[in-house]
Amino acid sequence: MFEYQTLFDARGALYNRANRLYPGARAEEARAMLRHLALAPASRWLDTCAGGGYLSLRASAEALPPARFACDESLQFLRSSDRPQAACLATAGALPFPDRSFDAAACLAALHHAEDPAAVSRELLRVTRPGGRAALGDVAEGSAASRFLNGFVDRRTETGHRGRFYALDALAGFLRAAGGREIRSERVEIAWRFSSEEDATHFCRDLFGLEPATRDSEIRTSLLELGGRPEGGGFRIPWSMHYVSAGRR
């Protein structure tokens, strides 16, 4: 995923800082992905291109085993992360592990930057043992979140954002074509949650690597247009996700 590497070599450290400062912001997003993996206490699993080991960190926060490896294409992403596992620098479409190496494998919120999503899907299944599950999670095609990313974020970052988002059937098709079985797919309406609108603004500035000249008021306006609103004394940003998982034959 050359595009992925270019983006996160440039802004991976900021992305990791956002998740570090607001560790629970994307908890619902990660939790939905972890349910698809169905991890057992001793599971040996692979976290691929989820922000320098972000999904693995969230697993630990949910009292689940951290990933055996955090595999990413951006060295800067890995270097700046707080990953609780071994790091592996490699492309998601050609993982450096033998067949059936893991009980589960996951790719969260990265497939929209992949030039060959079918190859990523094949590799996730290839390294998963029979009886385990490989899972993809990404922003839903046609959702307000996808328009925000390819609109406001694209305009306000030096690297731009031109994500290729997929319908739920298309994501399931990648895993089916790769030989997946017992496919489970769902659209989940989750929220990113913060203690205040100010925190949400700071988080998005870092996570997306927005240009320094972008004013806080512009970020707040874009979040309100996305559907962000106060709730329960805090602030929520609605986020639409597609999750698909499959077992290996």
pLDDT in tens, 178-205: 999 999 999 999 999 999 999 999 999 9
Q: How many CB atoms lie within 10 A of CB 61?
A: 14
pLDDT at 75: 85
pLDDT at 8 over 90: no
pTM of the model: 0.95
For 52-68, what is the mean pLDDT?
A: 92
pLDDT in tens, 138-149: 999 999 999 999
Give the span between the Cα atoms of 19 and 207, in whole angstroms. Answer: 7
Give domain 2-16+23-150+160-191+241-248's CATH number out of 1.10.10.10, 3.40.50.300, 3.30.565.10, 3.40.50.150: 3.40.50.150
Q: Give the number of C-alpha atoms closer than 13 A to the C-alpha of residue 169, restricted to the C-beta side.
A: 0
pLDDT in tens, 201-240: 999 999 999 999 999 999 999 999 999 999 999 999 999 9
Contact in structure between 144 and 240 (CB atoms under 8 Å): yes
Q: What are the C-alpha distances in Å from 33 to residues 54, 76, 135, 243? A: 12, 24, 7, 7
* More confident site: 123 or 51: 123
Q: What is the largest CA-CA distance in the chain?
A: 51
pLDDT at 67: 94
Domain range summary for the chain, segments of one domain joined by +: 2-16+23-150+160-191+241-248
Q: What percent of the chain has pLDDT over 90?
A: 82
